[in-house]
Amino acid sequence: MDYRNIAIISHVDHGKTTLVDALLRQTLELGHGQEIAERAMDSNVLEKERGITILAKNTAVEYGGVKINIVDTPGHTDFGGEVERVLGMVDGCLLLVDAAEGPMPQTRFVLRKAIELGLKPIVVINKIDRQDARPEEVVDLTFDLMADLGASDEQLDFPILYAVAREGKAFKDMDAPRDDMQELFETVLGEIPAPGTDLEAPFQMLVTNLDYSDYLGRIVIGRVQRGEVRKGEFVNLVHKDGTRTKTRVVQPFTHLGLQRIESERVGAGDIVALSGIEDAQIGETVADLADPEALPIITVDEPTVSMT
């Protein structure tokens, strides 16, 4: 399996939920992963009925045989490095900006972290159907903001898509609008680097997030750096002080649409969840039993001179 792992950075109401819905819907229309899209749509519809518009933290869509994991970024406040950790799972980001409102100060913090981590941004100017849309100006404002935050020339050379997420449309050229999301999918596949997918190497995954269910107990979430792990397999949990605990993966999960799906095995490049690692803490490494090696914890140096 080939993967792309991306984060979405967006101010509230700029259309993140709508955009992900549109990507899921397109997955269905293209006949890929019917099951993915149907399940995903169902759960999102349910969430909307309950008045909850927050996305699942991890969503997966499929395009052209490539699985695209989309992670939601937390709000602008950084709780003990959460933003860095989440961004550490991905290789690029979609920066979604309202075509009328422009980039908002609240997204600055997350965007700065993304830039510092060297992530490749793709800018999506959404809601270009609004009467008061001013897409060209908003592109310029977005460029200026990124330049301000210290983006490299490569990051500033970002691809731009214009979107009406509500109608499932995204395209590169405003004079050649399209009725689908294909150009956005193609841009993600073409511009965002693919993660390593070495399944033969000893298993290694940084615990990036924790979840909990009454039935499964603690669930650890992260991107598999290398290797693969099977249901029931023994692994080492490498603690931050270098000590290790032998433990067992009860159930691996991958993501499908907005849901977590039980898998027999999960492997390099994917963003996965594992149950059974009861003692795990964020920043620890789940590693191969015979060849355990810790992953570095992601940290970002604050610039000594503020550029803003």
Summarize as ranges the residues that interact with ligand GDP (CB under 6 A): 10, 12-18, 53, 126-127, 129-130, 164-166
d(CA 176, CA 174): 5
Rounded to a whole number of angstroms, the minimum distance from the CB of residue 121 to ligand GDP is 17
Contact 109, 83 (CB under 8 A): yes
> Is 297 annotated as a binding-site member?
no
> Is 245 annotated as a binding-site member?
no
Contact 17, 10 (CB under 8 A): no
d(CA 43, CA 7): 20
Closest CA to 221 of 253, 191, 192: 253
Rounded to a whole number of angstroms, the minimum distance from the CB of residue 49 to ligand GDP is 14
Contact 256, 60 (CB under 8 A): yes
Helices (H), ranges, 30-94: 34-49, 82-87
Smaller CB distance to ligand GDP: residue 130 or 218?
130
Smaller CB distance to ligand GDP: residue 162 or 253?
162
Radius of gyration from C-alpha coordinates of the chain: 19
> Is 270 annotated as a binding-site member?
no
Contact 64, 31 (CB under 8 A): no
Smaller CB distance to ligand GDP: residue 47 or 293?
47
Smaller CB distance to ligand GDP: residue 171 or 203?
171
Q: Which two tokens stand for residue 178?
A: 């399209």
> Is 18 annotated as a binding-site member?
yes
Smaller CB distance to ligand GDP: residue 145 or 249?
145
State the DSSP code for 298.
P
Rounded to a whole number of angstroms, the minimum distance from the CB of residue 81 to ligand GDP is 24
> Is 11 annotated as a binding-site member?
no
Reduce the secondary structure of 131-172 to three states and give it as a string: CCCCHHHHHHHHHHHHHHCCCCHHHHCCCEEEEEHHHCEEEC
Rounded to a whole number of angstroms, the minimum distance from the CB of residue 14 to ligand GDP is 5
Smaller CB distance to ligand GDP: residue 3 or 162?
162
Task: Count H helices and E strands in the chain, helices first.
Answer: 7, 18
> Is 76 annotated as a binding-site member?
no
Rounded to a whole number of angstroms, the minimum distance from the CB of residue 99 to ligand GDP is 8
> Is 32 annotated as a binding-site member?
no
Rounded to a whole number of angstroms, the minimum distance from the CB of residue 181 to ligand GDP is 12
> Is 288 annotated as a binding-site member?
no
Give, for 96, the enclosing helix (H) or strand (E): strand 92-98
CA distances (Å), origin 255, targets 36, 58, 159, 258: 9, 7, 27, 7
Smaller CB distance to ligand GDP: residue 16 or 223?
16
> Is 129 annotated as a binding-site member?
yes
Rounded to a whole number of angstroms, the minimum distance from the CB of residue 97 to ligand GDP is 11
Residues in binding site? 13-18, 126-129
Q: Which residues are annotated as a binding site for GTP?
A: 13-18, 126-129
